[in-house]
Structure 1
Amino acid sequence: MLSDRISPRVREIPSSGIRAFFELSSGNENVISLGVGEPDFVTPEHVRAACIRALNNGETGYTPNAGLIELREEIARYLHNSFHLRYEPAHEVMVTVGSSEAVDLALRAFISPGDEVIIPAPSYIAYSPITHLNGGVIVEVEAGAREGFKLTAKALQKAITPRSKILMMNFPNNPTGAVMTYEDWLPIAEIVKANNLIVISDEVYAELTYNHTHISIASLPGMKERTIVISGFSKAFAMTGWRIGYACGNRELLAAMLKIHQYTAMCAPILGQIAGIESLRNGLPEKDEMKASYNQRRAFFINGLREIGLPCHEPQGAFYAFPSIAGTGLSSEEFSLQLLNKAGVAAVPGHVFGAGGEGYIRCCYAVSQQKLTEALDRIERFMRVLPARRMTSVSNL
């Protein structure tokens, strides 16, 4: 059988739990999808127009492997102005095919077989499979509800062993919406430096914080040189389909990532890079308007979930709610499947996000107010018909 020729590591990793529920609901107009983390805004008109002009001017070729220098300069300027991060555009910034490629490049560049990669969980589902594919050892550290879904110094220290090499994390967090403050980061940074760890910090939701200003761990003393900051344009700039991300950090670490990028993607799409330049030069007002809209939807949806009887911590970043469904007596997968089949609402079961995710579902509130209202109505009706024995403890959570 040809399937026997497939790499065992590939056979062992699961398919995306997010995409599984997306496929179940895809094409069904009666389903309200809260599953995929994609803005409901389109890319602003002036960004699209800039790309049309570039296309008409014949700008359709390769770019330098690390990306157009104009875009790297804009990224460096933007990170300095927004988050107090200083990077030299020529050697400390590289453009990637979405932030997902940047994560893949970083893990591939730094993992040797047997190296331990510490991943606070719940977390984005790609980190563990990529670690496994590269022969790394996954060490999940539960950053659960009792900690506000934050990484604590105590939990990190407990996970450290002589084989610890990488701390892979994303804050603001997908799926919980948790953020880390400067005070939260201080003891984490000391542990990282004391144990000579490399930090891969996925900050693709950095712009989407609501009651706190985003603080990158790379901005703390002694952390820039050992941190790869990853971000992109998909979420805050409504550019998911353009596939433009970036990585910033120590030039030697970035050069290792660039080697792999040269032999695989070669360069990010030129039109996407032109869109990125236009977004950073002229698209910040639209970014802020979209954020304000998400903030309104966040308050509405979280309050609605709580009124229904689904406890939900208040997400401070990203555009996800992570309500507890533990009181229903159903597993997160059972709840999500029944919610989809009986109520026509697609949400992602929490267990796919790793340790601490069971007993929760992830709902993306980056959909219209009308859809959020209808989704809450459907969830409420669904909750009413659950067997009474399954609901006994909901009010006590």
Structure 2
Amino acid sequence: MEHLLNPLVKKVEISGIRKFYNLVSGNQNMISLTIGQPDFPTPDHIKTAAKQAIDDNYTVYTHNAGDIELRKAVSAYISGKYQLQYDPDQEIIVTSGASEAIDITFRTILTPGVEVILPGPVYPGYEPIIKMCGATPIYADITQTGFRMTADIIEELLTPNTRCIVLPYPSNPTGVTLTAEELQDIAALIKDKEIFILADEIYSELVYEKKHTSIASYLRQQTIVLNGLSKSHSMTGWRIGFLFAPAVIAQEILKVHQYNVTCASSVSQSAALAAVTDGYDDATPMKMEYAKRRDYVYNRLLDMNLTVIKPDGAFYFFIQLPEGFNTSLSFCLELVEKAGVAVVPGNAFSELGEGYFRLSYAYSMDTLIEAMNRMETFLSNKTK
């Protein structure tokens, strides 16, 4: 029966991040810096709201777009945080995580033969869905611009088939964000063209030295904004994302969402309501701790003579391979075998990620100290 399966699905591979995580899991002495999983517990007041929802038997279907009280609260949240105005009735959809929001967006806006421009290296969750829609991912090489997707780079890749540009900033895997000026330049380039912007802003609350700016501030009518609570409120397993778009776009995406999951979990929506109201600033103490970890790891990496750009958002470093290693996979496998430290090969983030590896610092300081000590010893032994 295998020959009857959708060939577009058969060509898709499991994420390189998960492949490597699965490869090293179960090793008792392994320090894994592979997964973008906040090590903070979900705040207690959020868990209490979920428990109350269960006790109140709020375990039912909600409106397809999400409970209206939550959508109103999310509208106020996004306005207060980023000065974005979206109508809770027509322009906001509560999704089963930002991953579902990516899926339903692409399935709504893409048709066979169109092209989607992505920065490379990039989170691997976009390409498979693009291909399953019959569209073509076009990677923009950002390795020479400090991992920044600029208007000049985009302009060179535009064709009559360009349907969408993905702007995932702050970035996974690089931790880089774009400035307001860079976003304005991109908006000026794309304005009035029949091209969508998919702005994946799931790390928007984890920006360190400045405030996050959304391209929707400058290009609202063509932009679909994705966000959620996984990173900001340490709620990865609750699977709550938010999609914001002009009504004419959002109401078409809502159809796909309805037939995909019907609605997000009602219990998780109750938790989300607490997160965006009572937990409006829950991300602040986490961000402060991540900043300390970032600075510590950055200084240790520099002491190891590794080439790395200091991230200004998210919780990742994307580090150039040290000399003597031909591939990112060979480096990561040897680091696992000889140092007991797991990081993610750069080629998991497209071919443009080859020559790098990703390290997540969403781990305790004790874990990071031990990991850096092991890595330093490993590299010192390699140069002897």
Q: So what's the TM-score if we normalise by structure 2? A: 0.98
Using the TM superposition, give the Cα deviation of residue 25 of structure 1 relative to its aligned residue in structure 2, in angstroms. Answer: 2.2
Shift of 1:217: 0.3
2:205 counterpart residue number: 207
Query: C-alpha distance in 2, partners of 1:183/1:168?
Result: 18
Q: 2: CA distance between counterparts of 1:319 and 1:215?
A: 18
Q: What residue in structure 2 maps to residue 184 of structure 1?
A: 182
Q: Give the letter for the 1:188 counterpart.
A: I
Which letter maps to 1:185? Answer: L
Q: Deviations over 1:168-195 (max 9, x none)?
A: 1200000001101111112211121143
**Residue by residue, what CA displacement relative to the aligned partner does 1:89-137 show, whole Å, maximum 9, x if unpaired?**
0100000000000001101100010011111111110111110010001
CA distance in 2, matches of 1:202, 1:179: 12
Aligned pairs for 1:371-390 within 5 A? 371-386=367-382
Maintained 8 Å contact 1:40/1:366: yes
CA contact (8 A) 2:346 2:356 kept: yes
CA distance in 2 between counterparts of 1:355 and 1:332 reads 11
Match of 2:261 in 1: 265
- Distance in structure 2 (CA, Å) of the matches to 1:359 and 1:147: 16
Matched, 1:231 2:231: no
2:105 corresponds to 1:106:
yes
Question: Does residue 1:147 correspond to 2:151, yes or no?
Answer: no
Q: Superposition pairs for residues 9-158 of structure 1, below 5 Å?
A: 9-144=8-143, 146-158=144-156
Post-superposition Cα deviations, 1:185-226, rounded to whole Å, max 9, x if no partner, equal 122111211432101110000010011211100001xx1111
Partner of 1:336: 332
Structure 2 residue 314 is the aligned partner of structure 1 residue 315: no
Please tell me whether the aligned partners of residues 98 and 245 of structure 1 are also in contact (alpha carbons under 8 angstroms): yes
Q: After TM superposition, what 4+ stretches of structure 1 lie above 3 angstroms from structure 2?
A: none
Tell me which of 194, 216, 219 is aligned to 1:218: 216
CA contact (8 A) 2:150 2:186 kept: yes
Match of 1:393 in 2: none
CA shift, 1:148, in A, is 1.4
Identity %: 39
- Once residues 378 and 4 of structure 2 are traced to their aligned partners in structure 1, the CA distance between those partners, rounded to angstroms, is 45
What TM-score do the two structures reach when normalised by structure 1?
A: 0.94
Q: Aligned with 1:123: secondary structure?
A: coil
1:387: Cα distance to partner?
5.9
Q: For each residue in 1:226-268, what CA deviation from the matched residue of structure 2 results, as whole angstroms up to 9, or x when unmatched?
A: 1000000000100000000010011111111111111111100
Q: Which amino acid aligns with 2:85?
A: R
User: Which of these residues, 223, 233, 250, is aligned with residue 246 of structure 2?
Assistant: 250
Q: Distance in 2 between matches of 1:286 and 1:105?
A: 28
Aligned residue-pair number: 384
Q: Distance in 2 between matches of 1:90 and 1:147?
A: 40
Gaps of 5+ in 1: 389-397
Pairing partner for 1:294 from 290, 293, 296: 290
Name the aligned partner's letter for residue 2 of structure 2.
S
- Indicate the SS of the match to 1:65: coil
Could you tell me how far 1:355 is from its partner in structure 2? Answer: 4.6
The one-letter amino acid paired with 1:256 is: E
